[in-house]
Amino acid sequence: MRVLNLLPEDRGGGIESYYEQLKKYFTVPVTYFFVGKRRQEKGKLNQLRRMISDYRHFSQILNENQYNLVVVNPSLDVKGIIRDGIFLLIARWKAIKTIVFFHGWQEPLSAWIDRYFLRLFRFVYGQTDAVVVLSERIKKILISWGFRQRIHVEVTVISDDVLNAFSFKEAFSKRIESQRWRLLFLSRILRQKGIFETIDAWAGLKDKYPIDLLIAGDGEDLESVKSYVRSTNLSSVSFCGYVVGKEKDYLFNDAHLYCLPSYTEGMPVSVVEAMAYGLPVVTRWVGRLPEFFINGEHGFATTSKDPGVFKGLIERLYQDKTLYSKISSNNHSFAKSNFLASKAALRLKKIYTSTAN
């Protein structure tokens, strides 16, 4: 069996990170084909040329190689759905079996599709041979839309190597003994990830408690965020840039608390990573989090976008060391039991094999 897996060209994005963790554990041949806007691409004309080139190259690859299965990995956003829908139609035209793996789910677009474009969406995506989603809630939506193929629910993953090399006991002792706290925000730097809410929440605490803010990642709103920090004269903010590998491990290891007030997610990779490192998490009820995340057990989640609410939750964890200790231990154990990449690779192999056969 040979699999062609289409990934968005999104350096450091959640979809790329997901498959990067799985690579070494796959026991079936998987080839990766990158699609979407390139980092250095400028201008609508260049974008159009690249899109045409991608579709032509994809069709040529399918003609020249005997792939049994094509997997597309969109988030439910307008660009991703249109782009990957065309790839699906090309694969179907060539009689190759397909899987769609929805990694993100935007509620406004979901409602829009349900109301205006359900028949078209069902024609393009409802005829794939299998579907993978990151939550039971999304599975129920697809079933209500008339999807009749097998729908699998998967999880975000973390590297076995990372967990095996990490000493929770040592990291926890270091955190408890530290005189200053480090609040970590690690994500694409986009407004909808809740970066401004995080900054405002921290700003309400920094004069009261010894807490520093670490912002890691890059993205289209990075310069706006830096400008906002300068304009409000906030100190103790560290911009760590795009991090990967050991740099990323170090940040999670050295932090005390993880904050991600994202507006929408599928299954946020960074939340799972933070839990693996024993960090309590302050976040919002987005994506799959309501299906496993328990307030007071894994940290705190809220429906609010009010920075004052996040400020209160962070403060509670700072003040209550007993609660902080319990959540830290819970998160590390939970992640180790549920999110290992090696186990997810085996599950995906079964999905690929059963679909191709």
> For the chain, what is the mean pLDDT?
93
| CA pair distance 131, 343, nearest whole angstrom | 19
Do residues 300 and 347 share a domain?
no
Residue 223: domain span: 160-338
| CA pair distance 356, 202, nearest whole angstrom | 50
Do residues 261 and 210 share a domain?
yes
Q: Which position has the token pair 């041949």?
A: 29
Q: What integer pLDDT is reported at residue 264 of this predicted model?
A: 84
Highest mean pLDDT out of 99-108, 114-123, 238-247, 261-270: 114-123
In the structure, what pLDDT confidence band is assigned to residue 256 with cuts at 50, 70 and 90? very high
Segment among 34-48, 119-133, 186-200 with least mean pLDDT: 34-48
- Mean pLDDT for the stretch of residues 307-321: 97
| CA pair distance 150, 350, nearest whole angstrom | 13
Q: What integer pLDDT is reported at residue 10 of this predicted model?
A: 66
Do residues 213 and 95 share a domain?
no
- Mean pLDDT for the stretch of residues 255-279: 92
pTM above 0.85, yes or no: no
Do residues 143 and 120 share a domain?
yes
Q: Which of 42, 125, 145 is nearest to 82 (CA)?
A: 125
Q: Is the pLDDT of residue 12 over 60?
A: no
Do residues 133 and 201 share a domain?
no
Task: Determine the longest span between alpha carbons in the chain, in angstroms.
Answer: 64
- Mean pLDDT for the stretch of residues 218-228: 95
Tokens linked to 286: 């987005």
| CA pair distance 139, 267, nearest whole angstrom | 14
Segment among 30-44, 104-118, 146-160, 278-292 with least mean pLDDT: 30-44
Do residues 305 and 186 share a domain?
yes
* Residue 235: Cβ within 10 Å count: 8
Do residues 153 and 221 share a domain?
no
How many Cα atoms are found within 13 Å in the side-chain-facing hemisphere of 177?
6
Number of domains in the chain: 2
Tokens linked to 325: 């200790």
| CA pair distance 33, 10, nearest whole angstrom | 12
Q: Is the pLDDT of residue 294 over 90?
A: yes
Do residues 61 and 170 share a domain?
no
Do residues 26 and 98 share a domain?
yes
Query: What phi and psi, each to the nearest 5 degrees, are found at residue 284?
Result: -120, 160
Q: Which residues of 281-306 are buried (b: 16+ CB within 10 A; e: fewer)?
A: bbbbebbbbeebbeeeebbbbbeeee
Q: Is the dihedral of CA 98, 103, 105, 109 positive or negative?
A: negative
Q: Is the pLDDT of residue 234 over 90?
A: no
